[in-house]
Amino acid sequence: MFLRQAYGRLSNALSPNVTEKLVARFSSSTSASKPKKTTQLRKMLESPELEFIMEAHNGLSAKIVQEAGFKGVWGSGLSISAQLGVRDSNEASWTQVMEVMEFMSDATDIPILLDADTGYGNFNNARRLVTKLEQRGIAGACIEDKLFPKTNSLLDGRAQPLADIDEFCAKIKACKDTQTDPDFSIVARVEAFIAGWGLDEALRRSEAYRNAGADAILMHSKKSDPSDIEAFMKAWKNQGPVVIVPTKYYTVPTDQFRDWGVSLVIWANHNLRASITAMQNTTQQIYKDQSLVNVEKKIAAVKEVFRLQKDDELKEAEKKYLPEK
């Protein structure tokens, strides 16, 4: 309404050409006033409503997440490692992960929370990581209280040694002291249940990490039922935002998470897993048929790839900047 009124007043006073330019400039400035990515994530963590973010592992999948309507992206360590063809055991260096995150950030204007494993080392590695994430427009880092190199939490029969509580608290403090944007979020991921400890240890660690400055607690469990999470939420008594990852207890209705007071749900690896199935099926079909006839109509059109790459924007830029032939 305001823009239409402004446009009418401008039209009466100025030439059509000047009016169009001024309104276009005003419109772009108002759209540019969207909150920073860090602020968006902070609002999600502190919202009274249950929020959701979706896994992505490269620029393309991050863009798909945004187009689906999600308000945030989970930069999954498992998924990024897998798409690089290595294990989720810190085999990909943090600089390689950072390169992927930069493409993801460039492709989207919604916040990204990085699965930062253990922070890739001690407090010094973790605080340098925070600096580099801020430089690339990443909204937050989720750091888990295990030892470097980490072991994926969902693997069966593997040792899951936990970090010393005081040392991990110091790592959190170092990250918070290093960040320059006050809205950058540090999420402390508690692996007590994963490592075989009980509720008391999960609470002890969570309270210590919250007191050390963590902006939220991610409570992890690989049980197929939500008993660990339910018990924790009841005992936690809303001391701060809680994030969960229901990969294993996926049958639980999200209304239960709301009732327990969960702040944020992460759908943690499903784009990667969906793409694996799609690529396996397509590749096997082509190998079997020695033809594309049975797959072409089942996959994205090449035009859709160009659209996701914003080819139209390049076309317009070429008209603007390249000399006419």
Nearest-10 crossing angle of helices 94-106, 123-135 = 20
Nearest to 120 by CA among 106, 136, 112, 131: 131
- CA 277 from centre of chain: 22
Instruction: Answer whether 70's CB lies under 8 Å from 62's CB.
Output: no
Which one of the listed residues 88, 117, 145, 215 is annotated catalytic?
88
21 vs 6: CA distance, rounded Å:
13
Task: Give one DSSP letter per residue of 55-103, joined into a string.
Answer: EE-SHHHHHHHHHHT-S-EEE-HHHHHHHTTS-TTT-S-HHHHHHHHHH
What is the token pair recorded at 186?
Answer: 């540090």
Instruction: Answer whether 140's CB lies under 8 Å from 186's CB.
Output: yes
Instruction: Answer whether 64's CB lies under 8 Å from 271's CB.
Output: yes
Q: Is residue 88 annotated as part of the catalytic site, yes or no?
A: yes
Q: What is the DSSP letter of 152?
A: -
288 vs 24: CA distance, rounded Å:
54
Count CB neighbours of 79 within 10 A.
Answer: 25
Catalytic residues: 88
